[in-house]
Amino acid sequence: MSVTLTVNRKRIRLELDPATPLLYVLRNDLALNGPKFGCGMGQCGACTVLVDWQPVLSCVIPVSDVSEHEVITLEGLGTREAPHPLQLAFIEEQAMQCGYCVNGVLLTAASLLHTNPEPSEVEIRRALSDRLCRCGAHGRMVRAVQRAAAEQRPSRVAKR
Amino acid sequence: MRRRDFITTSGALVVSFSLGLHRWAEANDPPQELPGSLRDTPYLDAWIRIDGGGEVTVFTGKAELGQGIETALAQIAADELDVALERIRMVTADTGRTPNEGYTAGSMSIQRSGTALRYAAAETRAILLGLASERLGRPAEELEVDDGHIRSGGAEVTYWELVGEQTLHRRSTGSVAPKDPARLLHVGRPVQRLDLPAKVFGEESFVQDLRLPGMLHGRVVRPPGYGSRLESVETARTEKLPGVVKVVREGSFLAVLADREDQAVSAADRLSRDAHWSGSVALPRDGQLAELLRELPSTRFVVSEQGDPESTRELAAVSIQAEYSRPFIAHASIGPSCAVAVVRDGQWTIWTHSQGVYPLRDALAGVLGLPPGKLRVIHVDGAGCYGHNGADDAACDAALLARAMPGRPVRVHWSREDEFAWEPFGPAMSFRLHASLDAKGRIASWGHELWSPPQSFRPSARRSTLLGGRHAASVSVTGAAPGSWGSGGADRNSIPPYRLGQHRIVAHMVSDLPVRVSALRGLGAFGNVFAIESFMDELAHATGQDPFAFRLHHLEDGRARTVLETVARRSGWKGDERSSSGRGHGVAFARYKNAATYCAVVAEVSVESGTGKVRVDRAWAAVDAGRIVNPDGLRNQIEGGMVQASSWTIEEAVRFSSDRISSIDWSGYPILTFESAPNVEIELIDRPSEPSLGAGEAAQGPMGAAIANAVFAATGVRVRDLPISPGRLRGRWIDSGEPERAEKRPKSD
Contact A136 B644 (CB under 8 A): yes
- Is 70 exceeded by the pLDDT of residue B15? no
Contact A99 B196 (CB under 8 A): yes
Find residues 627-646 of chain B whose CB sits inside 8 Å of chain A.
632-633, 636-637, 639-644
Instruction: Classify B440 as helix, strand or coil.
Output: coil
What confidence tens digit (pLDDT) does each residue in A46-70 have? 999 999 999 999 999 999 999 999 9
Find residues 59-118 of chain A whose CB sits inside 8 Å of chain B.
73-75, 78-80, 83, 87, 90-91, 94, 96-103, 106
- Is 80 exceeded by the pLDDT of residue B1? no
The verdict on B387 touching A (C-beta cutoff 8 Å) is no
- Report which of residues A83 and B13 the model is more confident about: A83
Mean confidence (pLDDT) of chain B: 91
pLDDT at residue number B26: 34
Res. A86 pLDDT band, cuts 50 70 90 = very high
Top residue of A59, A100, A120, A131 to mutate, by most chain B CBs within 10 Å, is: A100
Contact predicate B106/B75, CB 8 Å: no
The verdict on B213 touching A (C-beta cutoff 8 Å) is no
Three-class HEC string of B89-105: EEEECECCCCCCCCCCC
pLDDT at residue number B578: 64
pLDDT at residue number B158: 97
- Report which of residues B190 and B3 the model is more confident about: B190
The verdict on B482 touching A (C-beta cutoff 8 Å) is no
Phi, psi of B465, rounded to the nearest 5 degrees: -100, 15
State how far the Cα of B238 lies from the Cα of B703, in Å rounded to an integer.
Answer: 49
pLDDT at residue number B731: 76
Residue A73 identity (one-letter amino acid): T
Contact A40 B674 (CB under 8 A): no
Q: Which residues of A touch B665 (CB under 8 A)?
A: 39, 41, 43
State how far the Cα of A10 lies from the Cα of B162, in Å rounded to an integer.
Answer: 51
Instruction: Classify B565 as helix, strand or coil.
Output: helix
- Those residues with Cβ within 8 angstroms of residue B713's Cβ, 6 or more apart along the chain or in another chain: B576, B577, B578, B579, B584, B585, B586
Q: What average pLDDT does this structure show over B568-572?
A: 96
* B461, burial (CB in 10 Å: exposed 0-12, middle 13-18, buried 19+): middle
- Report which of residues B17 and B180 the model is more confident about: B180
State how far the Cα of A105 lies from the Cα of A77, in Å rounded to an integer.
Answer: 13
- Is 80 exceeded by the pLDDT of residue B312? no
Question: CA-based angle B20:B21:B25, to the nearest 5?
Answer: 140
Sheet with strand B48-50: strands edge to edge: B48-50, B56-60, B88-92
pLDDT at residue number B743: 54
Least confident among A101-105, B33-37, B697-701: B33-37
Looking at CA atoms only, how far is residue A6 from chain B in angstroms?
18
State how far the Cα of B628 lies from the Cα of B72, in Å rounded to an integer.
Answer: 10
Q: What average pLDDT does this structure show over B603-631?
A: 95
Q: Is B377 left (phi over 0), alpha (psi -120 to 50) or beta?
A: beta
Contact B201 A131 (CB under 8 A): no
How many Cβ atoms sit within 10 Å of the Cβ of residue B70? 25
Q: Please confirm whether the linkage preceding B723 is cis (ω < 30° from 0).
A: yes
User: What residues are paired with B233 via a beta bridge?
Assistant: B275
Q: What average pLDDT does this structure show over B701-727?
A: 96
- Helices B69-81 + B115-136 axis angle, to 10: 30
Sheet with strand B598-607: strands edge to edge: B583-591, B598-607, B614-624, B679-684
Q: What average pLDDT does this structure show over B228-236?
A: 97
Of A34, A44, A91, the CB nearest to B666: A44
Side-chain-facing half-sphere of A152: CA atoms under 13 Å = 22
Contact B200 A94 (CB under 8 A): no
The verdict on B214 touching A (C-beta cutoff 8 Å) is no
Q: What is residue B285's DSSP assignment? A: P
Looking at CA atoms only, how far is residue B43 from chain A in angstroms?
31
Q: Which residues of A8-33 are buried (b: 16+ CB within 10 A; e: fewer)?
A: beeeeeeebbeebbbbbbbbbbbebb
- Sign of the Cα torsion B458, B462, B463, B468 reads positive
What confidence tens digit (pLDDT) does each residue in A7-42 have? 999 999 999 999 999 999 999 999 999 999 999 999
The verdict on A138 touching B (C-beta cutoff 8 Å) is yes
Q: What average pLDDT does this structure show over B15-42?
A: 58
- Is 70 exceeded by the pLDDT of residue B590? yes
Phi, psi of B92, rounded to the nearest 5 degrees: -115, 160
Looking at CA atoms only, how far is residue A160 from chain B in angstroms?
25
**Number of helical H runs and strand E runs in chain B:** 20, 25
Q: Which long-range contacts (CB under 8 A, 24 or more apart) does B128-132 make?
A: B128/B159, B128/B162, B128/B163, B128/B167, B131/B162, B131/B167, B132/B157, B132/B162
Nearest CA in chain A to B637: A97
- Is 70 exceeded by the pLDDT of residue B72? yes
Contact A134 B665 (CB under 8 A): no
Contact A97 B199 (CB under 8 A): no
Contact B644 A33 (CB under 8 A): no
- Sign of the Cα torsion B658, B661, B664, B666 reads positive
**CB–CB contacts below 8 A, A to B:** 169
Q: What average pLDDT does this structure show over A122-144?
A: 98
Residue B697 identity (one-letter amino acid): E
Nearest CA in chain B to A94: B192
How many Cβ atoms sit within 10 Å of the Cβ of residue B746? 6
How many Cβ atoms sit within 10 Å of the Cβ of residue B384? 30
Instruction: Classify B310 as helix, strand or coil.
Output: helix
Res. B86 pLDDT band, cuts 50 70 90 = very high
pLDDT at residue number A160: 37
Q: Which residues of B touch A39 (CB under 8 A)?
A: 336, 416, 665-666
What confidence tens digit (pLDDT) does each residue in B642-657 have? 999 999 999 999 999 9
Res. B735 pLDDT band, cuts 50 70 90 = low
User: What residues are paired with B327 via a beta bridge?
Assistant: none
Instruction: Show the beta-strand stretches assigned E in chain A.
Output: 2-7, 10-15, 48-51, 54-57, 70-72
Contact predicate B238/B271, CB 8 Å: yes
Q: Which of B11-15, B410-414, B735-739 has the highest mean pLDDT?
A: B410-414
Percent of chain B with pLDDT over 70: 92
pLDDT at residue number B704: 98
Looking at CA atoms only, how far is residue B694 from chain A in angstroms?
17
Instruction: Classify B591 as helix, strand or coil.
Output: strand
Q: What is the DSSP string of B657-713?
A: -SSSB---STTTS----TTTSPEEEEEE---TTSPP---TTSSHHHHHHHHHHHHHH
Nearest CA in chain A to B210: A33
Q: Tell me, what's the ipTM?
A: 0.96
Contact A74 B671 (CB under 8 A): no
- Helices A102-115 + A85-92 axis angle, to 10: 130
Of A17, A94, A133, the CB nearest to B196: A94
- Is 70 exceeded by the pLDDT of residue B630? yes
pTM exceeds 0.80:
yes
Percent of chain A with pLDDT over 90: 93
pLDDT at residue number B50: 97
Nearest CA in chain A to B205: A33
Percent of chain A with pLDDT over 70: 96
Question: CA-based angle B369:B374:B376, to the nearest 5?
Answer: 115
Q: Which residues of A touch B260 (CB under 8 A)?
A: 24, 28
Res. B740 pLDDT band, cuts 50 70 90 = low
Contact A100 B384 (CB under 8 A): yes
- Report which of residues B11 and B721 the model is more confident about: B721
* B463, burial (CB in 10 Å: exposed 0-12, middle 13-18, buried 19+): middle
Query: Residue B532: in which H helix or E strand, if any?
Result: helix B525-542
- Sign of the Cα torsion A31, A35, A36, A37 reads negative
Res. A90 pLDDT band, cuts 50 70 90 = very high
Query: Residue B250: in which H helix or E strand, if any?
Result: strand B244-250
Mean confidence (pLDDT) of chain A: 95
Nearest CA in chain B to A100: B383
pLDDT at residue number B9: 39
- Sign of the Cα torsion B73, B76, B81, B84 reads positive
Top residue of A14, A44, A134 to mutate, by most chain B CBs within 10 Å, is: A134
pLDDT at residue number B201: 98
Top residue of B260, B334, B520, B697 to mutate, by most chain A CBs within 10 Å, is: B334
pLDDT at residue number B19: 38
Find residues 27-66 of chain A whose CB sits inside 8 Å of chain B.
27-28, 31-34, 36-41, 43-44, 46
The verdict on A120 touching B (C-beta cutoff 8 Å) is no
